[in-house]
Homo-oligomer: A and B are copies of this chain.
Protein backbone atom coordinates (compact mmCIF):
# COMPACT_ATOMS: atom_id res chain seq x y z
CA UNK A 1 0.00 0.00 0.00
CA UNK A 2 1.27 3.46 -0.96
CA UNK A 3 0.38 6.51 1.12
CA UNK A 4 0.92 9.96 -0.31
CA UNK A 5 1.46 12.62 2.37
CA UNK A 6 1.00 16.36 2.11
CA UNK A 7 4.27 18.24 2.36
CA UNK A 8 2.95 20.85 4.77
CA UNK A 9 1.16 18.51 7.18
CA UNK A 10 1.80 19.02 10.93
CA UNK A 11 4.57 16.77 12.20
CA UNK A 12 2.53 15.37 15.09
CA UNK A 13 -0.25 14.16 12.77
CA UNK A 14 2.30 12.36 10.65
CA UNK A 15 3.94 10.75 13.66
CA UNK A 16 0.57 9.70 14.97
CA UNK A 17 -0.28 7.96 11.70
CA UNK A 18 3.18 6.38 11.52
CA UNK A 19 2.71 4.88 14.96
CA UNK A 20 -0.82 3.68 14.19
CA UNK A 21 0.38 1.86 11.08
CA UNK A 22 3.31 0.24 12.83
CA UNK A 23 0.88 -0.93 15.50
CA UNK A 24 -0.98 -2.75 12.72
CA UNK A 25 2.20 -4.68 11.97
CA UNK A 26 3.32 -3.15 8.69
CA UNK A 27 6.76 -1.82 7.84
CA UNK A 28 6.99 1.72 6.48
CA UNK A 29 9.47 2.86 3.84
CA UNK A 30 9.57 6.62 3.35
CA UNK A 31 10.46 8.47 0.13
CA UNK A 32 10.76 12.24 0.06
CA UNK A 33 9.30 13.57 -3.16
CA UNK A 34 9.07 16.95 -4.83
CA UNK A 35 5.43 17.84 -4.25
CA UNK A 36 4.50 15.07 -1.81
CA UNK A 37 6.14 12.54 0.45
CA UNK A 38 5.36 8.88 0.02
CA UNK A 39 5.24 5.90 2.33
CA UNK A 40 5.45 2.38 0.99
CA UNK A 41 3.85 -0.13 3.38
CA UNK A 42 5.24 -3.64 3.41
CA UNK A 43 3.44 -6.56 5.05
CA UNK A 44 -0.13 -7.79 5.19
CA UNK A 45 -2.22 -4.82 4.17
CA UNK A 46 -5.40 -6.70 3.22
CA UNK A 47 -7.00 -5.73 6.50
CA UNK A 48 -6.10 -2.07 6.22
CA UNK A 49 -8.89 0.03 4.74
CA UNK A 50 -7.73 2.74 2.35
CA UNK A 51 -10.53 5.00 3.48
CA UNK A 52 -9.58 4.79 7.14
CA UNK A 53 -6.11 6.00 6.29
CA UNK A 54 -7.53 8.73 4.04
CA UNK A 55 -9.35 10.07 7.10
CA UNK A 56 -6.05 11.50 8.32
CA UNK A 57 -5.83 15.08 7.13
CA UNK A 58 -2.10 14.72 6.45
CA UNK A 59 -2.84 12.10 3.78
CA UNK A 60 -3.41 13.18 0.18
CA UNK A 61 -4.00 9.77 -1.32
CA UNK A 62 -3.84 6.02 -0.64
CA UNK A 63 -3.25 3.39 -3.31
CA UNK A 64 -3.28 -0.34 -2.96
CA UNK A 65 -0.45 -2.35 -4.55
CA UNK A 66 -1.63 -5.86 -3.74
CA UNK A 67 -5.16 -6.95 -4.52
CA UNK A 68 -7.53 -6.92 -1.53
CA UNK A 69 -8.58 -10.54 -2.15
CA UNK A 70 -6.62 -13.56 -1.02
CA UNK A 71 -8.62 -16.77 -1.38
CA UNK A 72 -9.82 -15.95 -4.87
CA UNK A 73 -6.40 -14.61 -5.91
CA UNK A 74 -4.55 -16.65 -8.50
CA UNK A 75 -1.26 -15.38 -7.11
CA UNK A 76 -1.75 -17.59 -4.07
CA UNK A 77 -3.60 -20.41 -5.84
CA UNK A 78 -2.14 -20.84 -9.34
CA UNK A 79 -4.23 -23.85 -10.36
CA UNK A 80 -7.67 -23.48 -11.91
CA UNK A 81 -10.55 -24.33 -9.63
CA UNK A 82 -12.92 -26.83 -11.20
CA UNK A 83 -16.40 -26.77 -9.66
CA UNK A 84 -18.44 -29.94 -9.63
CA UNK A 85 -22.20 -29.38 -10.05
CA UNK A 86 -23.75 -32.77 -9.30
CA UNK A 87 -21.27 -34.40 -11.62
CA UNK A 88 -21.01 -31.65 -14.25
CA UNK A 89 -17.56 -30.08 -13.99
CA UNK A 90 -17.03 -26.41 -14.78
CA UNK A 91 -13.71 -24.60 -15.17
CA UNK A 92 -10.11 -25.39 -16.00
CA UNK A 93 -9.80 -27.53 -19.10
CA UNK A 94 -13.22 -29.15 -18.67
CA UNK A 95 -15.64 -28.98 -21.58
CA UNK A 96 -17.66 -25.78 -21.76
CA UNK A 97 -21.01 -26.18 -20.01
CA UNK A 98 -24.21 -24.69 -21.42
CA UNK A 99 -27.07 -24.11 -19.00
CA UNK A 100 -30.51 -23.36 -20.37
CA UNK A 101 -34.09 -22.95 -19.28
CA UNK A 102 -36.90 -20.48 -18.81
CA UNK A 103 -36.65 -17.20 -16.96
CA UNK A 104 -39.63 -18.27 -14.80
CA UNK A 105 -40.82 -21.74 -13.96
CA UNK A 106 -44.53 -21.74 -14.82
CA UNK A 107 -45.52 -25.27 -13.72
CA UNK A 108 -44.33 -28.86 -13.81
CA UNK A 109 -45.28 -29.49 -17.42
CA UNK A 110 -43.49 -26.42 -18.68
CA UNK A 111 -40.41 -27.21 -16.61
CA UNK A 112 -40.17 -30.81 -17.75
CA UNK A 113 -40.98 -29.95 -21.36
CA UNK A 114 -38.32 -27.24 -21.63
CA UNK A 115 -35.74 -29.27 -19.67
CA UNK A 116 -36.10 -32.02 -22.22
CA UNK A 117 -35.56 -29.53 -25.03
CA UNK A 118 -32.50 -28.14 -23.27
CA UNK A 119 -31.05 -31.61 -22.87
CA UNK A 120 -31.84 -32.59 -26.44
CA UNK A 121 -30.04 -29.50 -27.72
CA UNK A 122 -26.91 -30.30 -25.71
CA UNK A 123 -27.49 -28.25 -22.57
CA UNK A 124 -26.05 -29.87 -19.45
CA UNK A 125 -27.67 -27.93 -16.60
CA UNK A 126 -31.31 -26.79 -16.39
CA UNK A 127 -31.91 -23.24 -15.20
CA UNK A 128 -35.20 -21.79 -14.01
CA UNK A 129 -36.50 -19.03 -11.77
CA UNK A 130 -38.77 -19.94 -8.88
CA UNK A 131 -38.17 -16.83 -6.79
CA UNK A 132 -38.03 -13.87 -9.16
CA UNK A 133 -36.47 -10.47 -8.49
CA UNK A 134 -38.83 -8.16 -10.39
CA UNK A 135 -38.47 -4.38 -10.59
CA UNK A 136 -42.22 -3.98 -10.16
CA UNK A 137 -44.25 -5.36 -7.26
CA UNK A 138 -47.08 -5.79 -9.75
CA UNK A 139 -45.12 -8.26 -11.93
CA UNK A 140 -45.24 -12.02 -11.48
CA UNK A 141 -42.99 -12.88 -8.52
CA UNK A 142 -42.37 -16.55 -9.26
CA UNK A 143 -43.99 -19.79 -8.10
CA UNK A 144 -41.66 -20.07 -5.12
CA UNK A 145 -41.23 -23.47 -3.53
CA UNK A 146 -43.66 -25.00 -5.98
CA UNK A 147 -41.36 -23.87 -8.78
CA UNK A 148 -38.37 -25.49 -7.08
CA UNK A 149 -40.31 -28.76 -6.86
CA UNK A 150 -41.20 -28.49 -10.54
CA UNK A 151 -37.49 -28.20 -11.31
CA UNK A 152 -36.80 -31.25 -9.20
CA UNK A 153 -39.28 -33.12 -11.40
CA UNK A 154 -37.50 -31.85 -14.49
CA UNK A 155 -34.24 -33.17 -13.07
CA UNK A 156 -35.83 -36.54 -12.41
CA UNK A 157 -37.05 -36.73 -15.99
CA UNK A 158 -33.85 -35.55 -17.65
CA UNK A 159 -30.99 -36.14 -15.25
CA UNK A 160 -29.88 -32.53 -15.68
CA UNK A 161 -28.65 -30.81 -12.51
CA UNK A 162 -30.62 -27.66 -11.70
CA UNK A 163 -29.67 -24.05 -10.95
CA UNK A 164 -32.03 -21.46 -9.48
CA UNK A 165 -31.76 -18.10 -7.76
CA UNK A 166 -31.84 -17.80 -3.99
CA UNK A 167 -33.11 -14.38 -2.92
CA UNK A 168 -33.33 -14.74 0.83
CA UNK A 169 -31.42 -16.61 3.53
CA UNK A 170 -34.60 -18.06 5.03
CA UNK A 171 -34.95 -20.32 1.98
CA UNK A 172 -31.45 -21.80 2.23
CA UNK A 173 -32.54 -25.18 3.56
CA UNK A 174 -34.97 -25.55 0.67
CA UNK A 175 -32.17 -24.85 -1.78
CA UNK A 176 -29.62 -27.08 -0.09
CA UNK A 177 -32.11 -29.91 -0.20
CA UNK A 178 -33.27 -29.46 -3.77
CA UNK A 179 -30.98 -27.36 -5.93
CA UNK A 180 -27.58 -28.35 -7.37
CA UNK A 181 -26.16 -24.91 -8.06
CA UNK A 182 -27.33 -21.92 -6.03
CA UNK A 183 -27.49 -18.66 -7.93
CA UNK A 184 -26.94 -15.31 -6.23
CA UNK A 185 -28.46 -12.68 -8.51
CA UNK A 186 -26.98 -9.39 -9.66
CA UNK A 187 -29.20 -7.39 -7.30
CA UNK A 188 -27.97 -9.36 -4.30
CA UNK A 189 -24.28 -9.43 -5.21
CA UNK A 190 -23.57 -7.16 -2.26
CA UNK A 191 -26.21 -8.59 0.06
CA UNK A 192 -23.41 -9.56 2.38
CA UNK A 193 -25.55 -11.45 4.86
CA UNK A 194 -26.75 -13.68 2.05
CA UNK A 195 -23.17 -14.16 0.82
CA UNK A 196 -22.07 -15.24 4.28
CA UNK A 197 -25.04 -17.57 4.56
CA UNK A 198 -24.23 -19.40 1.32
CA UNK A 199 -20.61 -19.48 2.44
CA UNK A 200 -21.70 -21.94 5.09
CA UNK A 201 -23.38 -24.47 2.82
CA UNK A 202 -21.73 -27.16 0.74
CA UNK A 203 -23.39 -26.48 -2.58
CA UNK A 204 -21.62 -24.63 -5.37
CA UNK A 205 -22.59 -20.99 -5.94
CA UNK A 206 -23.15 -19.11 -9.21
CA UNK A 207 -22.36 -15.50 -8.33
CA UNK A 208 -23.70 -12.99 -10.83
CA UNK A 209 -21.97 -9.66 -11.24
CA UNK A 210 -23.91 -6.66 -9.95
CA UNK A 211 -25.10 -4.14 -12.50
CA UNK A 212 -22.69 -1.51 -11.20
CA UNK A 213 -20.06 -3.75 -9.65
CA UNK A 214 -16.45 -3.33 -10.65
CA UNK A 215 -14.62 -6.58 -11.28
CA UNK A 216 -12.86 -6.02 -7.97
CA UNK A 217 -16.16 -5.61 -6.09
CA UNK A 218 -17.36 -8.82 -7.67
CA UNK A 219 -14.25 -10.78 -6.70
CA UNK A 220 -14.59 -9.38 -3.18
CA UNK A 221 -18.12 -10.81 -3.04
CA UNK A 222 -16.70 -14.19 -4.05
CA UNK A 223 -14.16 -13.70 -1.30
CA UNK A 224 -17.05 -13.29 1.19
CA UNK A 225 -18.41 -16.69 0.23
CA UNK A 226 -14.99 -18.34 0.19
CA UNK A 227 -13.85 -16.86 3.47
CA UNK A 228 -17.04 -18.18 5.07
CA UNK A 229 -15.99 -21.68 4.07
CA UNK A 230 -17.37 -22.40 0.61
CA UNK A 231 -14.64 -22.56 -2.07
CA UNK A 232 -16.98 -23.55 -4.92
CA UNK A 233 -17.80 -20.25 -6.55
CA UNK A 234 -18.51 -19.77 -10.25
CA UNK A 235 -18.53 -16.17 -11.46
CA UNK A 236 -21.20 -15.12 -13.95
CA UNK A 237 -21.09 -11.94 -16.06
CA UNK A 238 -24.56 -10.71 -17.06
CA UNK A 239 -23.84 -7.20 -18.31
CA UNK A 240 -23.33 -3.91 -16.58
CA UNK A 241 -25.39 -0.78 -16.63
CA UNK A 242 -24.22 1.95 -18.98
CA UNK A 243 -25.76 4.85 -20.88
CA UNK A 244 -26.43 2.68 -23.96
CA UNK A 245 -30.15 2.27 -24.70
CA UNK A 246 -30.30 -0.26 -27.55
CA UNK A 247 -29.43 -3.09 -25.16
CA UNK A 248 -30.68 -3.77 -21.66
CA UNK A 249 -27.13 -3.95 -20.31
CA UNK A 250 -23.63 -3.85 -21.76
CA UNK A 251 -21.87 -7.23 -21.77
CA UNK A 252 -18.28 -6.82 -20.64
CA UNK A 253 -16.35 -9.70 -22.24
CA UNK A 254 -12.95 -8.47 -21.13
CA UNK A 255 -13.90 -10.03 -17.79
CA UNK A 256 -13.05 -13.43 -19.23
CA UNK A 257 -9.27 -12.97 -19.58
CA UNK A 258 -9.23 -10.74 -16.49
CA UNK A 259 -11.00 -13.21 -14.20
CA UNK A 260 -8.68 -15.93 -15.46
CA UNK A 261 -5.64 -13.76 -14.78
CA UNK A 262 -6.64 -12.44 -11.36
CA UNK A 263 -8.49 -15.46 -9.96
CA UNK A 264 -8.59 -19.24 -10.33
CA UNK A 265 -12.40 -19.42 -10.48
CA UNK A 266 -14.55 -20.50 -13.44
CA UNK A 267 -16.29 -17.79 -15.45
CA UNK A 268 -19.67 -18.20 -17.11
CA UNK A 269 -21.45 -15.70 -19.37
CA UNK A 270 -25.17 -14.88 -19.49
CA UNK A 271 -25.84 -13.27 -22.89
CA UNK A 272 -29.62 -13.29 -22.33
CA UNK A 273 -29.54 -10.72 -19.54
CA UNK A 274 -26.54 -8.90 -20.97
CA UNK A 275 -28.38 -8.00 -24.17
CA UNK A 276 -32.02 -8.35 -23.12
CA UNK A 277 -32.94 -9.24 -26.69
CA UNK A 278 -32.99 -12.75 -28.14
CA UNK A 279 -31.82 -11.43 -31.51
CA UNK A 280 -28.40 -10.57 -30.08
CA UNK A 281 -27.95 -13.61 -27.83
CA UNK A 282 -26.31 -15.91 -30.35
CA UNK A 283 -23.65 -13.41 -31.43
CA UNK A 284 -22.72 -12.63 -27.85
CA UNK A 285 -22.73 -16.30 -26.83
CA UNK A 286 -20.31 -17.21 -29.61
CA UNK A 287 -18.14 -14.25 -28.67
CA UNK A 288 -18.00 -15.48 -25.07
CA UNK A 289 -16.85 -18.92 -26.20
CA UNK A 290 -14.17 -17.43 -28.42
CA UNK A 291 -12.94 -15.30 -25.53
CA UNK A 292 -12.52 -18.36 -23.31
CA UNK A 293 -15.67 -18.63 -21.19
CA UNK A 294 -16.09 -21.83 -19.16
CA UNK A 295 -19.83 -21.85 -19.64
CA UNK A 296 -22.96 -20.11 -20.84
CA UNK A 297 -26.33 -19.62 -19.17
CA UNK A 298 -29.13 -18.91 -21.62
CA UNK A 299 -32.85 -18.34 -21.37
CA UNK A 300 -34.92 -20.83 -23.37
CA UNK A 301 -38.69 -20.91 -23.73
CA UNK A 302 -40.85 -22.80 -26.18
CA UNK A 303 -43.43 -19.99 -26.31
CA UNK A 304 -41.55 -16.76 -25.55
CA UNK A 305 -44.61 -14.66 -26.35
CA UNK A 306 -46.49 -16.42 -23.57
CA UNK A 307 -43.61 -16.53 -21.08
CA UNK A 308 -44.52 -15.18 -17.65
CA UNK A 309 -41.37 -13.10 -17.65
CA UNK A 310 -38.57 -11.97 -19.94
CA UNK A 311 -39.84 -13.63 -23.08
CA UNK A 312 -38.08 -10.88 -25.02
CA UNK A 313 -34.70 -12.37 -24.30
CA UNK A 314 -35.61 -16.07 -24.49
CA UNK A 315 -34.56 -18.32 -27.34
CA UNK A 316 -36.90 -20.89 -28.79
CA UNK A 317 -35.53 -24.46 -28.45
CA UNK A 318 -34.59 -24.71 -32.11
CA UNK A 319 -32.62 -21.48 -31.91
CA UNK A 320 -30.97 -22.70 -28.73
CA UNK A 321 -29.99 -25.94 -30.46
CA UNK A 322 -28.56 -24.01 -33.38
CA UNK A 323 -26.62 -21.81 -30.98
CA UNK A 324 -25.07 -24.87 -29.33
CA UNK A 325 -24.21 -26.30 -32.71
CA UNK A 326 -22.41 -23.10 -33.64
CA UNK A 327 -20.86 -22.73 -30.21
CA UNK A 328 -19.32 -26.18 -30.59
CA UNK A 329 -17.61 -25.12 -33.78
CA UNK A 330 -16.24 -21.97 -32.16
CA UNK A 331 -15.16 -23.95 -29.09
CA UNK A 332 -13.24 -26.32 -31.30
CA UNK A 333 -11.56 -23.36 -32.98
CA UNK A 334 -10.19 -22.28 -29.60
CA UNK A 335 -9.29 -25.85 -28.58
CA UNK A 336 -12.10 -26.38 -26.10
CA UNK A 337 -14.75 -29.06 -26.00
CA UNK A 338 -18.42 -28.33 -25.58
Contact = CB atoms under 8 A, between A and B. Distances in A.
Interface string A10-35: 00000011001000000001011111
A294 interface: no
Given A217-B135, A246-B216, A310 B51 contact: yes
A86 interface: no
A252 interface: yes
Contact of A168 (B169, B305, B312, B332): B169
Interface stretch (A89-97, A109-117, A119-127, A254-262): A254-262
A178 interface: no
A287 interface: yes
Nearest to A60: B65
A307 B52 contact: yes
Contacts of A247: 252, 254, 258
A173 interface: no
A224 interface: yes
A307 B81 CA distance: 37
Interface string A36-65: 101010111011010110111100010101
A253 B251 contact: yes
Nearest to A224: B137
A247 B240 CA distance: 14
A333 interface: yes
Interface of A: 2, 4, 16-17, 20, 29, 31-36, 38, 40, 42-44, 46-47, 49, 51-52, 54-57, 61, 63, 65-66, 68, 75, 131, 133-139, 141, 167-170, 187-188, 190-194, 196, 210-212, 214-217, 220, 223-224, 227-228, 240-247, 250-254, 256-258, 261-262, 274-280, 282-284, 286-292, 304-305, 307-314, 326, 329-330, 332-334
5 contacts: A31-B31, A136-B223, A168-B169, A256-B287, A257-B279
Given A34-B66, A288-B287, A333-B329, A51 B309 contact: yes
- Copy count, this protein chain: 4
B257 A280 contact: yes
B192 A133 contact: yes
A287 B214 contact: no
A240 B246 CA distance: 14
Contacts of A190: 133, 135, 187
A273 to B, nearest CB: 11
Given A192-B133, A223-B136, A250-B242, A55 B287 contact: no
